[in-house]
Each structure stands twice: as C-alpha cells, then as structure tokens.
Structure 1
Amino acid sequence: MEALFARTGLADLYEKVVQGERLSYDDGLRLYRTPELTAVGALANVVRERMNGDATYYVRNLHINYTNICNKLCKFCSFYAPPGDPRGYVLTPDDIVARLAEHRDHVIREIHMVAGINPKLPYQYYLDILRSVRAARPEAQIKAFTMIELAQIARAAKKPLGDVLEDLKGAGLACVPGGGAEVFSDRVHEELFRAKLDNEGWFQVAREVHRAGLRSNATMLYGHIETVEEKVKHLLHIRELQDETKGFQCFVPLAFDPARTELEHIPVTTGQQNLREIAIARLLLDNFPHIKAFWIMITPQIAQLALWYGADDLDGTVSHYEITHALGTASHHQALSHQELLDLISEAGRVPVERDALYNVIPEQLAVGGQQSAKGSVSLRVLSSSS
C-alpha cells in the first residue's frame, strides 16, 4: 500500500492518516484535486476500517414528507410548491397514520419526517403529527425536522427553541436529520437559497439541538455551483462544531439532482464524484462516527462500491421518498427490500449490521454483526443514544 501512495504523491497524507493526525484545509484541497481517486479511496478505507471494521449499518425505515409547500424558493429544489400553488399539499395527522398503515406488515425501526417550510402550519400541528406517529408505531423512533424546519417551528410557537425542543421530545422526537445545510458559503447562500436560514443560523440551531440531548446528522449538497474550496471549508466548519458539541452521529454527502430545478442545465454527478465526496468526508471528518452512502441519490451500485471508499452506512429500505429521484424515475416509490440491503452489503465483502435511528444495534442482528467476513472478525463500535 505504501507503494501506491508513493507513486501517487500522497505518501505524506498516508503517514498522517496512519498516525491518526488531523488533516488540514490544504490536505483537503489536495484530496479533491488529485486525479488518483483509487488512492484517495484507499486512504479513506484505512479510517473506515479503523473506526468501524467491516460493519456496515442499515436501518429499516420509512420516509414521510408531510408538506411540499415552502416559502424558501431554493433554486436547487424540485420538491417544493410555493404558497398558493395548486400542487401544494399538507398531510393531516390522519393522513400520516394511514400511510403508516400501508406498511403495517413491515418492520420499521425509524420514521424519517421532513418537509417544506410552510408558514401557515401552526405549532400544534407539529406536536400532533409526532404524537400520531408515536401512537401508530410506538416501536419506531422518529427522526424529524431539519434545522431549517426547527427554526420555523420555533417561530410558529413564539417560544425559545430550547423550550420547543423539549415539547417535541415529549411528543416523540428521538433525533434530527441533517438536511438544510447545503453548502456553508455566503456566496452560494445568496445565489441559490437566500431566503433560507444562513450558515450561522444553521449552526445555532444545531447547537440548541445538541444541547437538548438530541443527536443529529449533518449533510452537504454537492454537484451544483459550489467550489472545491467551499466544500473543504464546509467540512471543516462541521468538524469544528462536532469538536464543540459532539452531537453529530453521521455525515451524509447529498448528490444534487438538477432535474426539474432552476439549475437543470448542470450535469448530474458522476460515480467518480460521488465516491470522492464520500472518501474525503471520511478523511476530514475524523470526529464523526459514521459516513453514509445514501443510495437513493447515488444508486445502490455506487453506494455498494462506496463501502470501500469510506462509507459504513447505507441508510435503509426507505420505501417512499419525494425530495429527489436521482435513480431516473418519476415514482415516489423508491425502496430496497431488507434482503436486497443484506445482499448489497455482503456481496461487497462487508458485514451487515441492523441499527435503529440512534445507531444502537438491533439485538437479533448481533449474530450477523459477529460473523467472520472475508477480512476476518468484525469489531463493532456502536454509538448509543447516551454516548
């Protein structure tokens, strides 16, 4: 392996990675600019296996988008309908319960709820949908509301965000997804999503979320107008916040899908781009326990390959996803069966580990997690809700 890094001019970065030394801004730029993607992936795999061995996490989940009405008008979004648009919808608590009933025969560990920023929804609505979901599927954990949504919910409540978070937790909120971060760049914010919470606002909400004892993910939307420099700064900003709060459990690189957006002229991301983003995230975010390859946005095949480029999580079964259709279909039904997930992971030479929304290993999967893989025994590092 040393010969590979010597040949590609990355021997010094290999030494840093092996020694557990934190990579710098300049190191991040080199990782983006080198043409040697295989070497970048090999570096990321060193970190991936040091932190998680061969374990690859997945969750049996269901996504619910409770409204597509949004007043933020982001240029990269194909999901939203502006207020007053006849395409807009709002799911009532009963609608959501009915959707859950469609999956009554399926195991669901995590219910993931995010949506547009609908200024007409009252505070009580958010509490009601949480309580309805918890009553309908008490065994499932609810992951809901991006930092952008939480800012709007606090606005609707006319209460401090800390108090709102306690109310939401009492209604059933278990953890928070990481969407809405996009790219932490004032330039990109001004050009693409100027009506949305700015970078510092996102950080302030995240701090409050973590202070309330809720864990969250973090994301980065790539493949639009962002620069390499902006992406490295984004990753380092998130790393600094994790040093401060220790509240992030997973980082999710999100590939931009230009279809039906104001940026439709931009080409879709390539497999090489997707693998590079995952690998660099694993290398720079040394304090994040998990890196996810979100198969809906990059295809199951690239996500499978990403398990050797730094990713240790494939997300889950999903079943219904309206935000984007990066797999080239107009259908909202985008799902992998439990067996298909197991097969994807096993075929890649990794060990499937079923988790819940907080990365607690599901007991019946412990035997699977302890199997021998092609590379030997697996050491599981499980992030519990209290760690």
Structure 2
Amino acid sequence: NDVNVNRIISVNAQNKNIETIIKEIFADYDVSFREHTVLVKTSEPINKMVQQQSRIVKGLLIDANTNDPIIGASVWIKNSTQGVITDVDGVFTITVSGISTVLAISYLGYESIEIEVGDKTDLGVIKISSSEESLEEVVVVGYGTQRKESVIGAISSINVDQLKVPTSKISNILAGRLAGVVSVTRSGEPGAGSEFYIRGISTFGENKNPLVLVDGIERSLDLVDPEDIESFSILKDVTATAVYGVRGANGVIIITTRKGQEGKPRINFRIERGLTGPTSMPKMVNSAEFAEMYNEASNSNYYTPDVIEKYRTHSDPDLYPNVNWIKSLYNDYAHNTRLNMNVSGGGSIARYYIAGSLYDEGSIFQTEQNNTYNSALNYSK
C-alpha cells in the first residue's frame, strides 16, 4: 500500500541493464534484489541537517606515565552501542553526530574516562592513568594479561619486595613463599643456587626444571637481579601452561623486568651488608685428650705417658701435632655485601633503564669467596 502502483513513469532505457532501470523507476524507494525477486519499500526521509553535522572524530590514546600508545582500548559513544578500538599506534577514529556527543574510553588496568567532543574533529593526545585497584586483579599469562576472575588455571604472583633479601640467588628465596613450590639446596657453597620444583616433577630425563621466561626470553632464574624485577608470576597447572606445550610441563615462571619512565634521570643506589655464622660448632678434644680416651676405650697403653705429654706440651709439633682444625679451617663469621645502582629516565621519543649490581658473598671457610656481577639495560621507544 505504500507504493503507488498507478503512477506513470518515463525512463530512458537505452544501453542500460535491468537493475539500473528498476532503480530509476523506483528512485524514491529502497530497492533490493533477492534471486529473481525485486523488493521495494519506502525509504525514510533523511534529515539533511543531521547529515551535515555527522563528522569523523579522531584522537591518540597514550599512557599518562610512560607515554606508550594504548592498543585495543574501547572508545564508544556514551549511551549507545556505537564504538571502536584503538589501533597499534593508539589512534582511533569514530563518526559522531551533533555537538553534545560524549565519548567513553576504557581499558583493562586503567581508569575509565569520558570526553565531551563538542564541535571538534581532532581530540589530540588523550592520557589515561593506570588503576592500582584494577592492576591487583590482573595476572600475567603466556599471551598477555588477564583478570584474575577470568583465569581458570592455577597462577600465583609474589610481591617483588619479598624477593629483595640478602642472597645472591633468587632460587634460594622461593622456599616457603609460594604454595606448591619446593626448593632444595644441594650445597652450602657461597653463590650456590637451589633446585626448585612446581608441584613436583612431571617429566623424565635431564630437563626437570620449570620454564623461566624473562621478558619472553628463556633464561636462568639465578641470572636475574631482584632489583630489576617488576612482576613475578608462577603458572602451576596444565591449564595455565598449555600455551607452552611440553616445555611448560613442569610449570612456568614469568618475570617482567623494570622499564624506564619519561622524565628526568632518576638514580637509585642501594647497599646492604650482613653477617652470617653457624648457630653452633662442635667442641673438639685436643691431641692429648684423644690419646688418653683411646687408651681407655681400647683398654691398652697404645699411647705412652711420654707421648701424651709431648702432645700436651707441644714440645715436638712436627711429630706430635696438636691442631685445632675448627679454628684452622673456619672463620667465626662470614661477611656479605650487596651493591646495586640503577638509572632510569627518558623523553617522549625513548626511555631507558640501566642497572648494575655486585654481590660479594663470604664463607665461614677461610679460602672460599664468591663475587656475582649483574647488569641490565632496557630501552624502549
């Protein structure tokens, strides 16, 4: 009933196909073709004023602290379903109408903001700040970050401050700090690390250790300085480690190191000194006491009184020595020293983080000493 079928229309049909002719006949209607059927319906009137006010608005979304572009942030018109996401450069373009449009911007781990567009077509640089409350709900997984409530695998995070203890190896720190992590120290030598397992051993052969990824690159855990760590996560079960295949069968440790931030150079220097010593040492008998007890235990006179007297008086130390091996081999205490220095800063073009550390670990053995050196350089544009 909406189409006037009695109207007479004249059309010049020379050198035109049938679709073009039909569209000219029904120029005032919406025409569509479906197989051998032509669908004709009335078209809604277009408000030319609104059409003239429709325009494309663009902007650049960056992190307020690091000035890095925010990739994949949601930008939509408030109280509507129309929206877009930012591209790899943090840029977005969206079509808006009128001058009272409000854009809502949100991204995981950041504060949501709203911006009035007005009559602008270029919103310029938009900075959003990270939300500490949101960051506490985010964990690192193999392919980025996720909210804790959306993660079904067993993932644990440890506060980085708990790793900053006076020891040269991070593997020695993990014992007793995370559920499911077992750390075993095989040696008491200075600088020796520990073997650690996440929920036991799941594979046969030589490679029984968890996979350790530092900024996405496989490295030894003990080569990382605790001062350079920004986040520390442990993926425990099959669901969490599936993305790493068989290499992640024994668990995965993901470490993210610190990055530079825009601003003036910031220099941090830290020094620690400590003393270590045995809780108790055995009290040994001297040579004369040993000889007397040997004679008593064997019910003999193997050591004569003259020999025992020489042990006691040290009259012939070459043939009858009386050495206190505890004093000769061990020190009463061992000294440990840790030095760490880092410099970070940068501008809008590039940011840097440079660090160096020294850990000098002594031993109660008089001849043992271990020095460990670490350095790190992070550069980002």
TM range (shorter): under 0.3
Higher percent of residues as helix = 1
Higher relative contact order (CA 8 A, sep 6+): 1
Which structure: larger Rg?
2
TM-score, length of structure 2 as denominator length: 0.18
